[in-house]
Amino acid sequence: MGSVDVQIEVGNAGAKVEPNIYGHFAEHLGRCIYGGIWVGENSSIPNDNGLRLDTVEALKQLELPVLRWPGGCFADNYHWRDGIGPRDKRPTRLNIWWHQGESNAFGTHEFMRFCRAIGTEPYLCANVGSGDPEEARSWLEYCNSTQVTSLTKERAANGDPEPFGVKHWGIGNENWGCGGSMTPEHYADLYRQFATYLDGCDRNAVLIACGGGQKWNERFLDGLKGYEHLVDAIAVHHYSGHGLPDVTYEDRQYYGLLTAVEAMNRHLEDAARVCRERSSERHQVKLIMDEWGTWYREATVESGLRQESTMADAIFAGLSFHMFHRHAADLVMTNMAQTVNVLQALVLTAGPKLCLTPTYWVYDLFKPHRAGQVAPTTVRGPSLTLGGRVIGLCSVSATVTGKEAAVSLVNADLESACEVRASFPGSSLAQVKSARVLTSANVRDHNTPESPDVIAPTALDVKIAEGALAVTLPACAVAMVEVVLSD
């Protein structure tokens, strides 16, 4: 058994974890929307006017702060007017990226209804690649304007007299690739044009630019010199686990996946540096990671990017959130890909059946971190050297809210439990509010719609020893301990 010494400096807690770091992403892809979220009113699967009820119930529990839609690559192939008005009159289009028909049954109003049902804030991504500034601007007017205009009257006639108040607007998606194969300079020109009209239409809209690697980000922001005020945030994407099998991976491949967290960290560091360099006292360009997660070899266009999600995904998610907390000063949102049935999903469905993935449970466990301030934390414990890199096998992240601290722990070791002693210099532990752990004997274990209860959190036994926290964390585990501190 490894022993781990943790020091949590609650007195020096710094940047706040923006709740939107726990955001999500749903695209018209495979069975994410159709089958996963929307089944239609005539389905035998229980639904509320077409919205799948078991999915709604599951996601409502997570209180996801924000949900990005309609893509992804689909966003630059989507024309929002196709998805409003009587459903039987909506056109069927070709979803060119995911090689499927698009009935447009699920459009803006259905998405807003879904967001209201699960208690999340909508984040829309406008079409730059095959759209124009007026199409994007009119979508914003349709959604947000409080004036009486033809568009807002149309919104009311379509069932929503009150504006949707959509705050976050992405201007294109991966415009270096599926969003138009643009150069950063060309995208910067288009971005200025789109952003000018969106900003004019709604000064409160948060405008989000498509980011990329360091060079793309630099060249894009060079192209925006003097117009940086039009960029509230740059959004980058980072997928991990390419080439690995979703379930039958070897232990060494699992440990290799953990090193991908460091690669994502470097991507964020580079992007954050560029954002900081181009920010001024008056206007800060913030950072978003609006697509991330695992992408295994089973997730192909043919499979609708469907893959299983095992405990490895939970460990990967836990470590990634710890890394995101370290970027809290710059990072204002992340959106894992994708919510239902696609990539590192929260929920998987098969016909009328549904299961919650281990990743779902990480979102659930980590809820107390939202809006807390990150406390500097030192962890001394067992590590592994892989490809010349040292990976700590036990990771701890702590956030402070008033007199309470949320301490999440990940034991990535597949063999050994670890004996953790966490102290809070300058404070002591008065009470343990709650303690839960997600673990399984085999890292490859996973829930399926047919066997949904293989993995779920259970109570974790923790003790207070001389004002510190003492806990034995099983191998292959993600845990959350909420504590109350005293001086």
Residue 432, both tokens: 């343990």
Task: Judge whether 449 and 349 are in contact, CB under 8 Å.
Answer: yes
Per CB under 6 A, residues contacting ligand AHR are 27, 71-73, 173-174, 237, 291, 337-338, 343
Q: Which is nearer to ligand AHR, 173 or 217 (CB)?
A: 173
Q: Which is nearer to ligand AHR, 76 or 330 (CB)?
A: 76
Q: Which is nearer to ligand AHR, 141 or 291 (CB)?
A: 291
Q: Which is nearer to ligand AHR, 56 or 337 (CB)?
A: 337
- CA neighbor of 275 nearest in space, from 266, 283, 286, 265: 286
How do 383-386 and 377-380 pair as beta strands? unpaired
Catalytic machinery residues = 174, 291
With a CB cutoff of 8 Å and minimum separation 6, the contacts of 220 are 184, 185, 187, 188, 191, 209, 211, 212, 234
Residue 346 C-beta: closest distance to ligand AHR, Å: 14
Helix (H, G, I), strand (E, B) or coil at 74: helix
CA distance 262 to 319: 10
Helix (H, G, I), strand (E, B) or coil at 360: helix
The values of phi and psi at residue 4, to 5°, are: -130, 125
With a CB cutoff of 8 Å and minimum separation 6, the contacts of 69 are 25, 26, 27, 111, 122, 123, 124, 125
Task: Judge whether 122 and 182 are in contact, CB under 8 Å.
Answer: no
Helix (H) or strand (E) holding 392: strand 389-392
Rounded to 5°, angle at Cα 155 from 150 and 156: 95
Q: Which is nearer to ligand AHR, 50 or 71 (CB)?
A: 71
Task: Judge whether 123 and 335 are in contact, CB under 8 Å.
Answer: yes
Residue 344 C-beta: closest distance to ligand AHR, Å: 10
Q: Which is nearer to ligand AHR, 246 or 291 (CB)?
A: 291
Q: Name the burial class of residue 116, with classes exposed (0-12), middle (13-18) and buried (19+) by CB atoms within 10 angstroms of its CB.
A: exposed
Residue 337 C-beta: closest distance to ligand AHR, Å: 4
Length in residues, the chain:
487
Q: Which is nearer to ligand AHR, 211 or 223 (CB)?
A: 211
Residue nearest to ligand AHR (CB): 72
Q: Which is nearer to ligand AHR, 242 or 380 (CB)?
A: 242
Residue 88, both tokens: 């039987």
Residue 237 C-beta: closest distance to ligand AHR, Å: 6
Residue 306 C-beta: closest distance to ligand AHR, Å: 12
With a CB cutoff of 8 Å and minimum separation 6, the contacts of 443 are 251, 254, 310, 311, 312, 315, 414, 476
SS (H, E, C) 4-67: EEEEECHHHCCCECCHHHHEEECCCCCCCCECCCECCCCCCCCEECCEEHHHHHHHHHHCCCEE
Interaxial angle between packed helices 133-144 and 184-201, expressed in degrees from 0 to 180 and rounded to the nearest 10: 30
Residue 29 C-beta: closest distance to ligand AHR, Å: 6
Residue 297 C-beta: closest distance to ligand AHR, Å: 15
| DSSP secondary structure letters along 209-272 | EE--SHHHHHHHHHTTTT-GGG-SEEEEEEEE-TT--SSS--HHHHHHHHHHHHHHHHHHHHHH
Residue 261 C-beta: closest distance to ligand AHR, Å: 19
